[in-house]
Structure 1
Amino acid sequence: MPKSEDDIDLDGVLNEIGQFGRFQVRQYGLMIIPIIFNALFTLSYVFTAGNLDYRCKIPECDDTVTSYHPAWLNNSVPFKNGVPAQCERFRLIANTSLEDFYCDADAFDRSTLAECSDFVYADDEVTIVKDFNINCPHNDWKLTLVGTVNNIGQFIALPIAGYLSDRFGRRLVLLLSVAGSAVFGILRSYATSYEMFIIMEFLDPAIGSTMYTTAFVLALELVGPKMRVSGNNVISCAFSFGEAALALFAMFFRNWRVLLKIIYIPGLVSLPLLWMTSESVRWLLSKGDREKAFGILKKAAKMNGKSLSPAAIESFYPNSEKDSASEELGNAGFFSLLVDAFRSPGLLLRVANCSFCWLTNVLVYYGLSLNSVTLAGDKYLNFILVSLIELPGFLIMQLILDRVGRRATLCTTMLLCGLFCLLAEFIPTENTWLSLIMFLVSKMAITMSFGTLYIYTVEIFPTNLRQSLLSVCSMFGRIGSMIAPQTPLLAKLWSPLPMVIFGGMGITSGLAILQFPETLNIQLPNTVQEAMSMNTDDRNNKDRDQLS
């Protein structure tokens, strides 16, 4: 029977050229750039569409230069929990003379309320709330809709981008996603209406949504099995620093138009640098293009100060019979491969389980991030803390993931996250520091789970469908991120509801994960048959023996 490119022991070749040498460091250095951009772009709406503190403007009392909390304010507007009403004021008594008007209590009818038409803001921060007059609680849906529309764009684009990536290559899709996202982000900064802003908010992720997954796959497919956890943590830490950088930029550039220009213009500037990215060797092999794949590996070996063995070189120069088989497989229709894959009930169940796990992880991860700005205290500091708490989570992953395995780590972290989310509701509201600590511990647990899930998803699916199936799972994850911006509204129905939902789904998904196979130290599967054979202990033992 003729052999195909799947018979090349790529993980063995990576061992020869170095699992994480100078070549991989260079590749990761380049991939960190779009990963940081993705963090900045994906969550920018937290601050561009963030709500503001404002109150009714009292034309009879507010001077040209207004004070947010003047001494007479209690006479003119109702207060709730020590906070002035945003959209209501006491009606001015009709026979009150404006001459020598001192805004005292006798000038207002405290039994009658009137709606406000103008507003005074607490500080100089400018979001779309101020520019597009999205004031008062009945307009809150317009703000939460921004995040949902952003994630609808990702939901629609991810499967398309996954197909394009598996069909035409990771590198091309990465360049297009960074360029497209940057263009629509810059255009959004010039929006003249809420409607124009929303359209640009949709088009940005619709083009750039695959930025993270493509960069992740491009980086991870070029490292050996023993370095996948370290490689994953490099990518994940870059994303966390990107999130923290977003809050810092928002803290210093408090106008949403300026903020968008600051974070999106570097995306266009980076394109010549990203052009230097190497294409995925595994993708080239799956397409039967051994020559280009061998050229990249030769370059990697030279840069790492290594050399390829005669056996490895020979595997890239097969006889004509092998060439014919490789060409036939490389030209196989993508959709026919996908249809054949889904004829496997086991793979179909794996995709469904993985998709639910993604939905839960994304919902809880982004839900906790978005709800952090509603916690007591400085919203920028809270967001930075919730971002940086991910770093110790990655450190713990580095220590345990290659010791206890993927399945046990993913299951345990999901269960712990669910438990912490539920326990957070038993903490008294006045104990803000303990609430913040429990919030941070929950975020650290879901971060460990999310980081493990990315590695796991890459390892349980075959090369020729890897990014497409990763995109399918990620697409279902976007359902979670579409719901996440609405969770602050759920708290208005019942304050514990968001955390109860996070906790319940976390525990359920943690138990469902036990149906996955263990993938510790295995070679990445190239075919559906290899991916499904990971359920057997013999396959795992064989791969461990090869790597020992």
Structure 2
Amino acid sequence: MTFADILEDLGSFGRFQFIHVTLLSIPGLFLATQNILNNFTGGVPGHHCTVPNRTSLALSHDISVSPLSDKEILQAFIPTEDGSTLSRCRRYTEAQWRLVGTNGSIATSDRNVTEADTETCRDGWTYEKTEFLSTIVTEWDLVCTLLPLKRMSQTIYMGGVLTGAIVFGGLSDRFGRRALLIWSHFQLATLGSCTALSPNYLAYCIFRFLTGMSVSGVILNAFSLKMEWIPTKSRTVVGSISSFFFTVGQVILAGVAYSLRDWRQLQVAVCAPFYIFFICSWWFSESARWLVLNRRSEEALKHIHRVARINKKPEMMEKITLEVLESHMQKEVQSSTTVFTAYDLLRTPVMRKISICLIFVWFSTSFAYYGLAMDLQKFGVNIYLVQLIFGAVDFPAKLGALVTLSFVGRRVTQSACLLLSATVIFVNIFVPSEMQTLRTSLAVLGKGLTSASFTCVYLYTGELYPTVIRQTGMGFSSTMARIGSMAAPAVLILEDILPALPSIIYGGSAVMAGILAIFLPETLNVPLPDTIEDVEEKWWGHNGVADFGVNMQKWLE
């Protein structure tokens, strides 16, 4: 008997598992908002240089006996770009009244006017409030030369997510999943809400960094608690359905952001619910697998008996004793005397191959995903509508992934999602910029495929790494994802060199990861490994490419 057999005797996927998985998944509704929140809290509204004393100017101009409108005053003080759009970062040093035609149009034929001296926005900026009432951009004037600071705030947040993956991944293998999950919920609720009180840009970035750390803590520990308390046959469905909470969260964000267009209110709205999740998280049971492997078998037995009571299997409380539990996990207990570090992810042959392949899969998935999802304003339509569409497309994409994960396997699904997303990205390169609707549709499809890849890789990684080092492995792998999410915005700078270059890099990375995914072992309906020795024995001599071909042939037949 293994621990998987104990779970079956406890009722398989019973009442406890249902409540447990549901409570662990609900925070995903608001976790999804954190990574893409900057699209709204850091939105860049239309803006132009402030023109001081508009009223006196309108009354004192010397080209008309009637006062000028605001639009006409702007024509006299703000130069245009492409002959129609007001400049965002420059204004005339002196009023150019001759620019104002009798019908209010700009008289661009006047050579003296078109060559007039301009200056920077010495009196600040005036912002449109049709799309956003207030953002960090309007709060601290992060426009023109300071616009990179807006992008930097997202990079700093992702740096926090990366740091959290490293810190909380290792700590949870040492101190337990439940304790770190409780702390992460509290940290996210408190520091996330405090972000709304930031008096300046520096404080904002510090709070966002710490909030990003807690996001990793919640995701990693919630995932492991789910996987380690459910039977083998339920992992695929649970992992896939849990990811739908993130999808619903993206749709919810569109509605909440549309209703609360002040960034401080929006920040509180998506972080305060974690106080409720913090209270609920005290109900969770610590992973019995982890407790046994850390010489806390008596505590593990209490949690197992609790599960038996909730699942209405009282007879199992007498059947499963401390001696029975330890005898059936003797091998795993013996291995727990060793202290594991990130080095053990690369020390042995099979673990090394798995880790290297997962590094590329995690990096490329996140790299392509955030390259498509983090700058919604570039699509030129209502940002709230784009967010809604981007969230909605994940439903069919993840549903398709659920089907293939259940019947075809993890490896085929992972590889297919990456290669198909690369294909869509490459195709979009050849679509003319005038065909904005088609380009947006392809971007939405690519985002859906990368989202499905995320669904698969979270499940796949948890099944490939053994219990003794699962959280360290998840933290190590997701660290690569955070590096990808930090690199994605930086690649967009290459558009100035060649417009298609960012897409070539995103697509090329996805192709490489899709090929490497073929070399990973299949885990469909395979019990979770508990030790590194289990991994080496189970998949030693595994030939990913050969197995991939055989499985594909069987599936096609």
Question: Same fold by TM (over 0.5)?
Answer: yes
Aligned length: 526
Please give the alpha-carbon distance, in whole angstroms, between the structure 1 residues aligned to 2:166 and 2:69: 49
Match of 2:554 in 1: none
Aligned pair 1:478/2:479, yes or no?
A: no
Aligned pair 1:18/2:11, yes or no?
A: yes
> Which letter does structure 2 place at the counterpart of 1:371?
D
Please give the alpha-carbon distance, in whole angstroms, between the structure 2 residues aligned to 1:434 and 1:103: 34
Please give the alpha-carbon distance, in whole angstroms, between the structure 2 residues aligned to 1:209 and 1:470: 10
1:158 to 1:90, Cα distance in 2 relative to 1, 3 A: same
1:108 to 1:280, Cα distance in 2 relative to 1, 3 A: farther
| Range with bigger deviation, 162-171 or 222-231 | 222-231
Find 2:270's aligned residue among 263, 276, 279: 263
Please give the alpha-carbon distance, in whole angstroms, between the structure 1 residues aligned to 2:325 and 2:311: 29
1:10 to 1:324, Cα distance in 2 relative to 1, 3 A: closer
Aligned pair 1:132/2:133, yes or no?
A: no
| Range with bigger deviation, 127-136 or 51-60 | 51-60
Match of 1:164 in 2: 171
- C-alpha displacement at 1:322, in angstroms? 8.7
1:475-510 deviation digits (Å, cap 9, x = unpaired): 111101111233444434433233222111111110
1:338-389 deviation digits (Å, cap 9, x = unpaired): 5555431331232122112111111112221113332121111111211221
1:119-166 deviation digits (Å, cap 9, x = unpaired): 221215211111111121x22210110111111122223222111101
Match of 1:122 in 2: 128
Please give the alpha-carbon distance, in whole angstroms, between the structure 1 residues aligned to 2:189 and 2:367: 25
Match of 1:109 in 2: 113
Query: In the TM superposition, what are the counterparts of 1:292-303 in structure 2 within 5 Å?
Result: 292-303=299-310
Match of 1:215 in 2: 222
Match of 1:519 in 2: 523
Match of 1:350 in 2: 354
Please give the alpha-carbon distance, in whole angstroms, between the structure 1 residues aligned to 2:332 and 2:222: 26
Find 2:90's aligned residue among 88, 97, 111: 88
| Range with bigger deviation, 22-31 or 38-47 | 38-47
Task: Say whether the 8 Å CA contact 1:281–1:296 is kept in structure 2.
Answer: yes
Task: Say whether the 8 Å CA contact 2:54–2:70 is kept in structure 1.
Answer: no
Query: In the TM superposition, what are the counterparts of 1:48-87 in structure 2 within 5 Å?
Result: 48-59=41-52, 61=54, 70-71=71-72, 73-76=74-77, 77-80=79-82, 82-87=84-89
Match of 2:63 in 1: none
3-state secondary structure, aligned to 1:92:
coil
Please give the alpha-carbon distance, in whole angstroms, between the structure 2 residues aligned to 1:81 and 1:494: 25
1:393 to 1:238, Cα distance in 2 relative to 1, 3 A: same
| Range with bigger deviation, 54-63 or 317-326 | 317-326
1:484 to 1:289, Cα distance in 2 relative to 1, 3 A: same
Match of 1:3 in 2: none
Match of 2:550 in 1: none
Please give the alpha-carbon distance, in whole angstroms, between the structure 2 residues aligned to 1:326 and 1:534: 15
Find 2:339's aligned residue among 333, 341, 357: 333
Find 2:430's aligned residue among 426, 433, 456: 426
Please give the alpha-carbon distance, in whole angstroms, between the structure 2 residues aligned to 1:321 and 1:396: 41
Please give the alpha-carbon distance, in whole angstroms, between the structure 2 residues aligned to 1:60 and 1:111: 25
3-state secondary structure, aligned to 1:392:
helix
1:321 to 1:280, Cα distance in 2 relative to 1, 3 A: closer
3-state secondary structure, aligned to 2:113:
strand
Please give the alpha-carbon distance, in whole angstroms, between the structure 1 residues aligned to 2:414 and 2:96: 67
Please give the alpha-carbon distance, in whole angstroms, between the structure 2 residues aligned to 1:147 and 1:15: 44
Match of 1:143 in 2: 150
1:92-130 deviation digits (Å, cap 9, x = unpaired): 25999xxxxx99858983212332233221215211111
Please give the alpha-carbon distance, in whole angstroms, between the structure 2 residues aligned to 1:236 and 1:324: 34
Match of 1:544 in 2: none
Task: Say whether the 8 Å CA contact 1:27–1:277 is kept in structure 2.
Answer: yes
> Which letter does structure 1 place at the counterpart of 2:495?
A
Task: Say whether the 8 Å CA contact 1:78–1:88 is kept in structure 2.
Answer: no
1:312 to 1:84, Cα distance in 2 relative to 1, 3 A: farther
Match of 1:289 in 2: 296
1:22 to 1:537, Cα distance in 2 relative to 1, 3 A: farther
Aligned pair 1:469/2:469, yes or no?
A: no
Please give the alpha-carbon distance, in whole angstroms, between the structure 2 residues aligned to 1:188 and 1:285: 39
Aligned pair 1:456/2:460, yes or no?
A: yes
Task: Say whether the 8 Å CA contact 1:240–1:390 is kept in structure 2.
Answer: yes
- C-alpha displacement at 1:436, in angstroms? 1.9
Task: Say whether the 8 Å CA contact 1:372–1:382 is kept in structure 2.
Answer: yes
Please give the alpha-carbon distance, in whole angstroms, between the structure 1 residues aligned to 2:272 and 2:240: 27
Please give the alpha-carbon distance, in whole angstroms, between the structure 1 residues aligned to 2:250 and 2:333: 44
Query: In the TM superposition, what are the counterparts of 1:412-423 in structure 2 within 5 Å?
Result: 412-423=416-427
1:40 to 1:523, Cα distance in 2 relative to 1, 3 A: same
1:370-413 deviation digits (Å, cap 9, x = unpaired): 13332121111111211221111121122221211111111111
| Range with bigger deviation, 264-273 or 169-178 | 264-273
> Which letter does structure 2 place at the counterpart of 1:26?
I
| Range with bigger deviation, 176-185 or 408-417 | 176-185
1:375 to 1:94, Cα distance in 2 relative to 1, 3 A: closer
Query: In the TM superposition, what are the counterparts of 1:316-465 in structure 2 within 5 Å?
Result: 316-318=322-324, 329-335=335-341, 339=343, 342-465=346-469
Please give the alpha-carbon distance, in whole angstroms, between the structure 2 residues aligned to 1:161 and 1:452: 22
Task: Say whether the 8 Å CA contact 1:357–1:509 is kept in structure 2.
Answer: yes
> Which letter does structure 2 place at the counterpart of 1:23?
F
What TM-score, normalized by structure 2, do the two folds share? 0.86
> Which letter does structure 1 place at the counterpart of 2:527?
Q
Task: Say whether the 8 Å CA contact 2:76–2:96 is kept in structure 1.
Answer: no
Please give the alpha-carbon distance, in whole angstroms, between the structure 2 residues aligned to 1:158 and 1:435: 34
Task: Say whether the 8 Å CA contact 2:165–2:216 is kept in structure 1.
Answer: yes
What TM-score, normalized by structure 1, do the two folds share? 0.87
Task: Say whether the 8 Å CA contact 1:149–1:201 is kept in structure 2.
Answer: yes
> Which letter does structure 1 place at the counterpart of 2:266?
L
Task: Say whether the 8 Å CA contact 1:92–1:108 is kept in structure 2.
Answer: no
3-state secondary structure, aligned to 2:375:
helix
| Range with bigger deviation, 26-35 or 10-19 | 10-19
| Range with bigger deviation, 320-329 or 469-478 | 320-329
> Which letter does structure 2 place at the counterpart of 1:86?
R
Task: Say whether the 8 Å CA contact 1:517–1:534 is kept in structure 2.
Answer: no
Task: Say whether the 8 Å CA contact 2:10–2:316 is kept in structure 1.
Answer: no
1:539 to 1:75, Cα distance in 2 relative to 1, 3 A: closer
Task: Say whether the 8 Å CA contact 1:390–1:447 is kept in structure 2.
Answer: yes
Unaligned runs of 5+ in 1: 1-7, 97-101, 542-548
Please give the alpha-carbon distance, in whole angstroms, between the structure 1 residues aligned to 2:55 and 2:491: 36
Please give the alpha-carbon distance, in whole angstroms, between the structure 2 residues aligned to 1:476 and 1:494: 27
Please give the alpha-carbon distance, in whole angstroms, between the structure 1 residues aligned to 2:225 and 2:383: 35
Find 1:273's aligned residue among 275, 280, 288: 280
Match of 1:253 in 2: 260
> Which letter does structure 1 place at the counterpart of 2:268?
K
